[in-house]
Structure 1
Amino acid sequence: MTTVKPIQWDLPDPFTIDLVVRAEDTDRLGHANNVVYVRWLEEVSWAHIDSLGMNWDLHEQTGKAMAITRTEIDYLMPANEGDRLVLGTWLTGYDGKFRSSRQFQLVRPADGKTLVRAVSTHACVDLKSQRPSRAPKAFADILGGAVVSGGRDVGFN
């Protein structure tokens, strides 16, 4: 029987997904490749906003989407093939108009270790022009209502 340590989340009540490092996720060094971490961040972000009602249908109806403008990742410890992981995320900022921010924490429950911490910023864009655009009210209602206080201030520079 595998012992699982309690997860010490950086912020309360994260939205989480469970992951398992597959052989194809690893690189020549034998651990999860940096590109895989970026994919996981994107997967949990989409799953999170979808769970809040900001699904792809809403994006198509409004003609808007939140596009990543910056991602900062701190790789603290490697993840290896077969590792079972939990990736948590929080919305940590929304300026009420164009930009939002998100924080991530990747944990290996077997030993309770945090493997990755990351932050990202997003800007609302028009789906057709791909140019910055004010967020529609539906986005503002969802994003503004989901922001968790106490997250890393990544600013909106």
Structure 2
Amino acid sequence: MPESLLPWRYQSPFIKSWQIDASHLDHYNHVNNVAYLTQVEALAWAHSNSLGLQFSDYQSLNRAMVIKRHELDYHLPSHEGDNLQCATWIVSCDNKLTLKRHFQFICERRQKTVFEALTTFVCVSLDSGAPKRLPEPFKEIYGNACIESSLQLQSTGEI
């Protein structure tokens, strides 16, 4: 099924496929919680890379976006053989210290959301770990990718 026909929460998702195999399962034969978090991290990095930010940019700017909070919602179990379409969006960016990403994983076979997450990231200095303001490249790249302004327009009916 074309990705555009899946029931995405927001428009224009960044998507990667994830084929579930035995290594992703827990003792209940469901996808393990840690496997979901591993996929969330990989998806966030893939999206950042696609936007033009690599880890080498983080190093040269002496900044990193680190996780402050995860909110995880497990809607349905996933099993070996399932193919999940995994999407992310930057849903808010304050252009100061924080940004939030939403994640949604849809099982192709069932056409249903199996997992969602909202992750809050805070900008820190790589060398000290102390909170630091977003550098200009982060503001520009992450800020431009943020769907917050279009969400506000959708909620007011302006689009």
In structure 2, what is the equivalent of residue 80 of structure 1? 79
* Alignment-derived partner of residue 104 in structure 1: 103
Distance 1:25 1:131 in 2: 34
What SS is found at the alignment partner of 1:82? coil
Q: State the superposition RMSD in angstroms.
A: 1.5
C-alpha separation in 2, matches of 1:4 and 1:26: 27
2:136 paired residue number: 137
Contact 1:66–1:123, Cα closer than 8 Å, also in 2: yes
Return the TM-score normalized by structure 1. 0.91
Task: Find the counterpart in structure 2 of residue 65 from structure 1.
Answer: 64
Q: Over residues 57-77 of structure 1, what are the superposed CA-to-partner deviations in whole Å (9 max), with x where a residue is unaligned?
A: 111110101001001010000
**Which amino acid letter does the alignment assign opposite residue 108 of structure 2?**
P
Greater helix share, structure number: 2
Any gaps of 5 or more consecutive residues in structure 1?
152-157
Distance 2:38 2:29 in 1: 18
Secondary structure at the aligned position of 1:111 is classed as coil
Structure 1 residues 113, 128: CA separation in 2 closer, same or farther (over 3 Å shift)?
A: same
Q: Quote the sequence identity (%).
A: 34
Structure 1 moving runs of 4+ over 6 Å:
none
After TM superposition, the score normalised by the length of structure 2 is 0.90
Aligned length: 149
Secondary structure of 2:116's match? strand
Partners of 1:4 and 1:111 within 8 A in 2: no
**For the residues of structure 2 that align with 1:34 and 1:19, how far apart are their CA atoms?**
15
Alignment of 1:113-132 (within 5 A): 113-132=112-131
